[in-house]
Structure 1
């Protein structure tokens, strides 16, 4: 059952790849032409595809999805350090890039790092205990957790306040492996730091493993309404579309008791 659902959601995710709709339309039109189907039908499919690409490239679709994914987290960056004692701040990795054989954190990682450090600093300046749990292995030779840790230490965070979860390869594993660590720590409160567009799915997965994180969105993405389609709008719309499919997958798997 799970294998079949995994396959189906991978198929759905193909529709969130840049301009996959164009490729699909070309294939359908070619098949219809070979089978001598109606010329009007082929033209209709072509026009529909062009309209959808324009809708994506002009930023209309992205603007709607952006609100769905991020609106609830626009004010979560406010510090809440006075409300709890001994919290843990979980930071999700944002990816690794390799340039000239040198591995660096993806640009999204730095907004997450800054947000986590600001919250951590609010506690420490009041002499309150606080830990940072960095979750992410990534696909490089060095883990995201390791690279994050090095930068946090440069910012003045001591080793004793840094916990590394360096095995997870995706958001599901971020939640699963982090929950195993957190349940042994039993923190009074848990903050979750990740990008705004990624927060809804992340919170849902952490709740799946019995945790109730306080969301702290580190950054937000949006599209711009333009007369002519552009790559900026298309790129961010497809990123957000993929996130929507991921949320649906979490919801389906949770309803079937398969996210364990």
Structure 2
């Protein structure tokens, strides 16, 4: 059942990709024309596809989704260290880039690193205990967690305050494996650091495992309203649309009890 739903959601995500929509529309119109089907139907499909591509490419749709995904976290300022005692800062990996067999963190990972370090520094400058849990395996020779650890050490974070979770390959596993570590530690307070567009789904998944994360969004994305569609708007709208579909997937799986 879960395998089938996973497959269906992956197919559904294709429909958030503007280039796939154009390809699909061309195929459908060609098939209808070959079978001498209604010309009006072909025109409706063509116009609908053009309108969708314009909404994605001119930034209008992305602007609306951006608010839905990120507005809550834009309003959240950095939580002061006196509010939460003995916290663990969970940092989600943003991917690994392989260049000449050398693994490097994806660009969005650095904003997450900076946000986590700023929060960690707030505690340490007041001599309060705080740990950083880095979650992510990635697909490189070195795990995301290890690459994060190396950079955190260069920033002055001691190994004793760094915990690696280097098995997870997606956000669901980030939450699942981090939860296992947090339970073993007996940690009850946690911050969750990830990108703003990714936060809503991440919080929902961590809550699925009974955790109560305090969200700390590290970066935000948005589109620009333009007269003509462009690839910048299309790319970010596609990323955000995938997140919306992911949120629906989490909600459905939770309702069916399939996320444990």
1:220 partner SS: coil
- Name structure 1 gaps, 5 residues minimum: none
The separation in 2 between residues aligned to 1:118 and 1:93, in whole angstroms, is 17
The separation in 2 between residues aligned to 1:141 and 1:16, in whole angstroms, is 31
The separation in 2 between residues aligned to 1:202 and 1:182, in whole angstroms, is 16
The separation in 1 between residues aligned to 2:229 and 2:17, in whole angstroms, is 16
- Name structure 2 gaps, 5 residues minimum: none
TM-score between both structures, scaled by the size of structure 1: 0.98
Asked if the contact 1:77/1:218 (under 8 Å) is kept, the reply is: no
The alignment of Structure 1 onto Structure 2 pairs a total of residues equal to: 260
Aligned to 1:29: 29
Asked if the contact 1:199/1:217 (under 8 Å) is kept, the reply is: yes
What is the Cα deviation at residue 76 of structure 1? 2.5
Aligned to 2:103: 103
Deviations 1:237-258, CA, capped at 9 Å, x for gaps: 0000001000000000000000
The separation in 1 between residues aligned to 2:191 and 2:29, in whole angstroms, is 50
Aligned to 2:225: 225
| RMSD of aligned alpha carbons | 0.9
1:85 partner SS: coil
2:258 partner SS: coil
Aligned to 1:209: 209
Aligned to 2:248: 248
The ranges of structure 1 where at least 4 consecutive aligned residues each deviate by more than 4 angstroms after the TM superposition are none
Residues 148-187 of structure 1: pairs in structure 2 closer than 5 A: 148-187=148-187
1:19 partner SS: helix
Deviations 1:154-197, CA, capped at 9 Å, x for gaps: 00000000000000000000000000000111224110000000
What is the Cα deviation at residue 18 of structure 1? 4.1
Deviations 1:113-144, CA, capped at 9 Å, x for gaps: 00000000000000000000000001111100
Cα gap change, 1:98/1:77 in structure 2, threshold over 3 Å: closer, same or farther? farther
